[in-house]
Amino acid sequence: MPNAFWTNWKLQGEDQSSITALKRISEERTVQITSSEESDDYKAIITEWGVERITKNTLQRCQRKEKEKSQRRLLDEQKKRSKDLEELFTYKLSVFQTDSIKKSNNRKIKSKIRKAKSLLEAQAIATILIGIEQGIIDEKPE
């Protein structure tokens, strides 16, 4: 029964009361089983693998799982960032279809909208420009 590891090693602090391992149940089929201390499977795995080897395998598995988790987290963060960037780009394009912004000659503020790094920043600057164009806000002379 290969790939044996302590099932609850991390969860319950180096616990050895349960083992998970692959068990071949027929020529074509292998299943993952979890066995507790009293079971025959548990005893058979201990005999075949030895405690030390199971512990080593468990530690390697924990490390691998940690690495996978951190990679997944990084990937999720990057996917979110990618989605945020697409939303920001879409927003900026749509802002420039708004009449008062489209027709504005205020190149300086329009450029700031394009260079905005977040949706909030782009929205805030766009709002200011609309305010200026509609005479609600006075733009101070440079």
Partner 1 sequence: MKNLSKGYVIIASRSVFFYKSALYLIESIKDFYPDAKCCLVTEERFLDGYETIADDLLLCDDHLRAKLDGMARSPYDLSFYIDADCEVVHEDIEHVFEELGEYDVMFTELTDDRAYCFKEIHFPAGKMTLCGGVCLYDMSRPIVREFMRDWYDLTVKQYDKSWWPVDENGQYDYANYPETLSRWDQFSLWWLVNKEPKYKNLKVGIFDDDARWNYYSKYIKQHCVKPIVIRHFSDSKVKSSL
Residue type, 5: F
User: Which H or E run contains 34?
Assistant: strand 30-36
CB of 63 to partner 1, least distance (A): 22
CB 56, min distance to partner 1, A:
32
Instruction: Give the residue with the Cβ less far from partner 1, 49 or 110.
Output: 110
- Show contacts with partner 1 in window 103-122 (CB under 8 A): 110-111, 114-115
Closest CB to partner 1 among residues 14, 84: 84
Per DSSP, the residues of 69-97 read: HHHHHHHHHHHHHHHHHHHHHHHHHHHTT
Site residues (CB under 8 A) for partner 1, limited to 66-95: 75, 78-79, 82, 85-86, 89-90, 92-94
CB of 131 to partner 1, least distance (A): 21
DSSP H/E element including 67: helix 51-95
Burial group, residue 107, by CB count within 10 angstroms (0-12, 13-18, 19+):
exposed
Q: What's the min distance (Å) between Cβ of 95 and partner 1?
A: 10
